[in-house]
Each structure stands twice: as C-alpha cells, then as structure tokens.
A and B are shown apart, each in its own frame.
Chain A
Amino acid sequence: MSIQVTGLYKHFGNFTALDNVSIEFPTGGLVALLGPSGCGKTSLLRVIAGLERPDSGSVHIHGKDVSGLDIRDRQIGFVFQHYALFRHMTVFENVAFGLRAKPRSQRPNDTAIRAKVNQLLALVQLEWLADRYPAQLSGGQRQRVALARALAVEPQVLLLDEPFGALDAKVRKELRRWLRQLHDELHITSLFVTHDQEEALEVADHIVIMNKGRIEQHGTPEQIYHAPQTEFVYQFIGSSNVLYHNDHGYSFAADGQDEALKSYCRPYDFQVSAEQQHGSLPAKVMRKLPLGNTIRIEAEALLPMAESAIIDVDLAHNDPLLAQIHQQDVIWLAPRRTVQFSR
C-alpha cells in the first residue's frame, strides 16, 4: 500500500475536519476524495501532503512513517486548487524550480534540467508556451503547468486539490480525460479532491466518500454507485426519491406510522403508467425536462395530506408513454427497486 493513514484527527477551533480517519490507498491508483464542502476531504489531502499537521494519527507513505518528516523530504507532488504558479517566472522557470532548488550535490546540471523540463512540457503538451508567464495562460494551461511542475521532482505520490474546480465546463471535460490518460501513462499513485460526483465516477478508479470528517464508504466507482452502503452515499451519488414502506406497500408519506421504513428509489427505477396498477402511487406531472437520452418528469406526489413532495422520474426519450402524458396529468408510479438503510 503506497499511502496509509491511521487514526487521523484534526480540529480547527470547534470545527472537526477529520474525525478518526483510517484508510489505505492502493499503489498506482487514481483516487478521488469526494464529498460536500466542509467534509474534510481537503484537510485529509493537506495532512497527507504535510501542509497541515494532524492533532493525532499517522501517515505512512510506502511503508515509511512520514508524520515527523520535513515536507521537503516527503517527495510529494502537490497541485494547488488555484495552481500557485510563481507569477514572476516563465512557464519554463516554474517547472525547473524544483530541480534548481535541490542541494548542490543532488542538483542536475543545466543541460539535464533543460532536457527534463522540455520533456515534461512535452508531456503536458505546452512546449510552445515555455517562455510565457502564468498571467498569459488560460486556466487549463495553468493547470497543466502546475502538474508539470509537481512532476518535475519525481514525486512518489501526486496530490491534486480540486484540480478542475476553477475551470469552465468544456475545458474541465477535456482535462478530466487528459488527466486519466496521463495517469495511465505514468502510473503514479494520485489522489484528487472533488465535490463533483460525476467527475469522480468518470476519472477515478477508486472513490473515497467523506462526510463530516468521516469516511462514509470507499471502493470502485461501480461499488459506490451500485452498492451504496449508507444513506448519505446513496443521496450524494445521484438523484433519489424518498418513499415509505409498510405492511401494505409503498407510500409517499410516512403517514405518522412509526414502523414505516424509509426507502429510496432512483428516478429510473419507477414503473410508470397512465392508469392505476396494483401497488402504484399517483402523482401529478408538473414539468418535463429533456436531459438528452432521458426525459425527466417532475411530478407532485398526490398525498392525502396537505404537504407536497416533488418526485423525479426518468423515462427513455423514445418511451411511447411520453406522448400520452401532459402537464397536470396524473401518472401512476410503481417502484421497481428500492433501497433501505438500517438506522
């Protein structure tokens, strides 16, 4: 195991950023630390990097305890959320910085530095920008320079803090694919922080979901998506509807029955029909949203009580039923598959 953290605690005043976090990250993996803001994912990354010191607990990298180790000796490549490029240095100088900062005995000569930097710039496809300053680059280019700079010192692990956070949607998409390809080429153990579950599912081969300073679940994207182990993970990873299950079947409301079990159902897990079927629940169509391959229907649950709930239902765009239902129509929903979590 290349990175192993054990029993990490970290408090900032009254706020608990890390609450007994222990986890091992596989060697050569590309891992996403996923969670809502304030869940502790960035703190975990910064503790592993050595930028924060945990209140207690330890960090091992390649079997070596690095807790007391100077940050310079940890051999970590770190890409900051806003890149932290040295604004008064050219792209070339930025990438060369780590090599030039080495003690004289380990420092490569000028030709070697030049060759190494050019090789890295070729890797991130930015050779033609070597003499530019960071202010003259686009966001995506800065991101890649930051990556090349981090890779220059041949780190054992690569840590990226919200690597796509500051980019616009299109560049973000390109860069995600590019990062995945780069990782497949280099096989360097990498951790990145994100709050975007789609990004995590698409890029990472392993996902760690955090909430309130604790790890909720970790595993492959398939495991996370298809077998969420907690309520939080289920709700965080995709859209969901809340149902209540009792002896008579499903209902949209708890109806004051304590024994009613809270269940969840994904929008695409409803059997939809225009007429009442056995065990189906009525809802009134409010809006139809085209989402490409699927059409999402926002429907208002028809409840015996005054309170209302919006139910999301997904249908394939070529579903013949779509032609029959219009706004204000009542549709009948029968859950095909639901998930329950023990309290």
Chain B
Amino acid sequence: MRLTKHYSVIPGLSLSLGYTLFYLGLIVLFPMAALLGKTMSLSWPQFWAVVTEPQVVASYKLTFGTALVAAIINLVFGTLVAWVLVRYSFTGKRLIDALIDLPFALPTAVAGIALVAIYGPHGPIGAPLLALGIKVAYTPLGITLALIFIGFPFVVRTVQPILQDFETELEEAAAALGASRFYTIRRVIVPHLLPSLLTGFALAFARGVGEYGSVIFIAGNLPFATEITPLLIVAKLEQFNYAGATAIACAMMAFSLLMLFCINSLQSWLERREQQHTGVMA
C-alpha cells in the first residue's frame, strides 16, 4: 500500500495516519501474521488432514448451517421489524427501538445462560416444547436460536436508515400509475433495499459463524452433532494442539472472508447497477 497524500491545509495527517498504521499493525496485522505463520509451519498434507478430519467437517456444516438459517430468519424478521418501526406508529415504539440493540450490549455469556434457562428441559418454554417432543436445548435448533439472538440487530440497523430516507413519493408515483400495493413493494421498495438487506444479512451471518459465548451453553457440544467450529478450536487449544487449532482457525477465516468477499462483490454490483440506472435518468 503506497500512501501518496493530496495537499490539504489541515494539519496532522502524518501524525494521525502514522499512529493509525502503527496501532493497526500492532493490534491487528501482526497477530494475524502470527496465525498465518503458524499455519505455514504445517505441510500442505498435514494441514489438509487436520481441516478435513470428519469431526471438523461436521463442525463446519453445523456452524455454517445454523449461521445461515439464523441469518435468513433475521433477514425476514429484521426487515419486518424495521418496516414496522419506520412506517407504523404504536405505543412503546421508542422503547422497542432502543431494545433492538440489546444483543450488542448484553454480554454473550449472559445471553447464553439465559437462553438455556428459557429453552432448557426445565425452562418455561423448553419444558412444554419437550412435552410435545421438540427438544431445543443441546440441539442445532438451540444453536440457531442463540445465533438469531446475537445477529438480530444487524439487519434492522442496516435496513432502518435506508427505509427512513426512502421517498414515499416513489411509492405514490407507483400507486398513481395504478400499481397494486404488493406490486409496488416488489418492484419499487425491495430493489431499493436490496444492498442494505445484503449487508445486514452478511453481517449477521459473519457474526453467527464466529460466535462462541452465547452458543456453548445451549449447544451441548457433542462431537459430530452439536459441536461448533470455534469450540473445536478451543478444545484443540486445551490439548495444547496449537498447530491443529490454528489450521482450523485459518480454514474458518478463509471460508468467512470468501463468503464476505462474494457478498461484497454482489453488493457493489447492485450499487453500480443502480448508479448506472440513475445516471441514465439524470
């Protein structure tokens, strides 16, 4: 990265940028280099053997699968909540709006034990569900619930501002042209929200994949069934298998970065398309 500065009369670029790069290097880049360095100490077959162990592969499936399901559920309900908060008025709206950020503020371990207390075999919801034959705690269903909790604010908070800025004139125009409400939503509103929906989805998904604190209490942590990848990394560490832990960590990061890259590309494609369209109009 070459830094060529453009002239400005405001002072402090070298100081602020210098400190930023120094701190970034020290806190973020250097430790990540350590991760890569440790992975390099494994030969390729060794690395491959570790990251494709059946137990590890099972954990990927569980982690990415539950994160995906949770992100999809959050996409649907997050959009609904954002819509209700922006468009409708009801008593207690401000309180509800403030509560949306609870998962950002509540430590994950607290969320984890609270969810077990609710959905566990003796919990107020867990017990009746168990009587119906639905086991929530210590199953993938429980993991998904925890990931819905921690990922919930992402979709709401990315969609809400876009929806707020959305000009109702566009909807009125569509309506004046004779479009039905459903048609207007499908053809006018949803395309406009799409980039922010994708961002919210990606953030919720990425957070879900890496989540540890809220999941381990409700997961049950049985190998091949309810053991998530972050927990597997911790388990390897506790056996002092640093190389193994690092290899899995690297594979997991590669997965999520690839995933984020795809979603970012899709998103910038969408934005470019929109810009081109508005460019033609202007």
Contact = CB atoms under 8 A, between A and B. Distances in A.
A71 interface: yes
Interface in B1-30: 7, 9
B2 to A, nearest CB: 17
A101 interface: no
Interface in A7-52: 50-52
A52 B9 CA distance: 8
B52 to A, nearest CB: 49
Interface in A41-88: 50-53, 71
A78 to B, nearest CB: 11
Contacts of A52: 7
Interface residues of B, number: 2
A52 B7 CA distance: 7
A105 to B, nearest CB: 21
A37 to B, nearest CB: 15
A26 to B, nearest CB: 27
A7 to B, nearest CB: 18
Contacts of B9: 50-51, 71
B10 to A, nearest CB: 10
A53 B6 CA distance: 9
A50 B9 CA distance: 8
What is the interface of chain A mostly: helix, strand, loop, or mixed?
A: loop
Interface in B85-140: none
A53 B7 CA distance: 6
Nearest to A46: B9
What is the interface of chain B mostly: helix, strand, loop, or mixed?
A: loop
Interface in B189-239: none
Contacts of A50: 9
Nearest to A51: B9
A129 to B, nearest CB: 29
A51 B9 CA distance: 6
A108 B227 CA distance: 72
B242 to A, nearest CB: 49
A71 B9 CA distance: 7
Contacts of B7: 52-53
A195 B237 CA distance: 69
Contacts of A51: 9
Contacts of A71: 9
A206 B241 CA distance: 81
Nearest to A54: B7
Nearest to A72: B9
A71 B11 CA distance: 11
A197 to B, nearest CB: 26
Contacts of A53: 7
Interface string B157-171: 000000000000000
Nearest to B9: A71
A52 B10 CA distance: 11
A10 to B, nearest CB: 10
A164 B7 CA distance: 27
A50 B7 CA distance: 10
A71 B10 CA distance: 10
A71 B7 CA distance: 12
A18 to B, nearest CB: 14
A51 B7 CA distance: 8
B8 to A, nearest CB: 8
Interface in B43-73: none
Nearest to A71: B9
Nearest to A52: B7
Nearest to B8: A51
Nearest to A50: B9
B60 to A, nearest CB: 45
A148 B9 CA distance: 22
A84 to B, nearest CB: 13
A42 B9 CA distance: 16
A221 B9 CA distance: 34
A83 B275 CA distance: 30
A243 B9 CA distance: 50
Nearest to A49: B9
Q: Which 5 A-B pairs have the closest CB atoms?
A: A53-B7, A71-B9, A51-B9, A52-B7, A50-B9
5 contacts: A50-B9, A51-B9, A52-B7, A53-B7, A71-B9
